[in-house]
Structure 1
Amino acid sequence: MDNKTTLMQQIIRFAFVGGGAFVIDYGVMIFLTEVGGLNYLISSAISFTVSVIFNYIMSVKWVFNVSGERSQTQDFAVFIVLSVIGLGINSLIMWIAVDKFHIFYMISKIGATAIVMVYNFITRKIFLENGK
């Protein structure tokens, strides 16, 4: 991707990539919970991890202006650290919504995803694009 990609173009691309990652995340979570019989927190963590890999590849190739100042391994490590924090936020929101407020896990996941999506865009823009 060239360095002339505007913030608005990045937000639109991030929304498309995020939408794809959400479909993967949500679909795998429901499959593992409903078909596989896993606890919703375990299936949510697994599905989140699968979607992170998709999201990383698409974010680096199509969304953010990654400078190349770091190696791909370093960029992936930064992405993973940011994603683990996002997973923690996701799991905390899921636990509070489901176990404390008794909101159905499929609904809770949508709210958790929206919050983590904002966190993801801001942190990835800061740490991936600027090479910090």
Structure 2
Amino acid sequence: MNNLLQQIMKFGLVGVFCFFVDYFLYLIANFAFEKVGIASIFPKYYLLSALVGFIVSVVVNYVLSFKFVFVRRDDMSRKKEFTIFLILSIIGLGVNELCLFVGIDLIYMNWGWLQSIMSEAFAKNLFFKFGATAVVMVYNFITRKIFLEQKD
């Protein structure tokens, strides 16, 4: 159990670092899309912003995960390992996008009392983004442990 706790802590540190990579790229893309007018053409531009952050952070996460967190399987090529990692990450992206869509479009935009206690920017950039990240972190740890780590 001690090894699992250490592994979860390492995963958390890698995850926090990758979250900041993802999050800052998400914020930068949101800002850029708003400044160049894409937000008025495509109101769900924040989903594109999430994709930008995802693409970069998944590569960083792959490298750091197998350097510090997970033990590589001896019976799996690096190409297959990355492919599985990428597939699991794409599913995680879907979960992230779904959480953002449900949180922002279905909940925040339709609940006036929620709009009265938080701004749209806070809802998009902090509240629902952090919630989505928490859900995806749990998913990522469990699936990577099951499908990618060397079994004892």
3-state SS, counterpart of residue 101 of structure 1: helix
* 2:140 partner letter: N
- 1:23-82 CA distance string (max 9 Å, x none): 001100000001343510001111012111111001111100112311111100000010
* 2:134 partner letter: A
In the alignment, is the contact (CA less than 8 A) between 2:74 and 2:150 conserved in 1? no
1:41 alignment partner, one of 47, 50, 55 = 47
1:128 is matched with 148
* 2:32 partner letter: V
Alignment identity in percent?
43
- Structure 1: runs of 5+ lacking an equivalent: none
* 2:142 partner letter: I
Q: Partners of 1:6 and 1:43 in 2: how far apart?
A: 36
2:124 alignment partner, one of 98, 105, 108 = 105
2:29 alignment partner, one of 28, 32, 39 = 32
1:130: Cα distance to partner?
Answer: 3.6
In the alignment, is the contact (CA less than 8 A) between 2:96 and 2:136 conserved in 1? yes
- 1:80-112 CA distance string (max 9 Å, x none): 010010000000000010111126211211000
Q: Partners of 1:9 and 1:113 in 2: how far apart?
A: 21
TM-score by length of 2: 0.79
Question: Over aligned residues, Cα RMSD in angstroms?
Answer: 1.5
1:78 is matched with 84
Q: Which has the larger radius of gyration?
A: 2
Q: Partners of 2:51 and 2:60 in 1: how far apart?
A: 15
The worse-fitting range, judged by mean Cα deviation, of 49-58 and 5-14 is 5-14
3-state SS, counterpart of residue 148 of structure 2: helix
Q: Partners of 1:115 and 1:100 in 2: how far apart?
A: 18
1:15 is matched with 12
1:119 is matched with 139
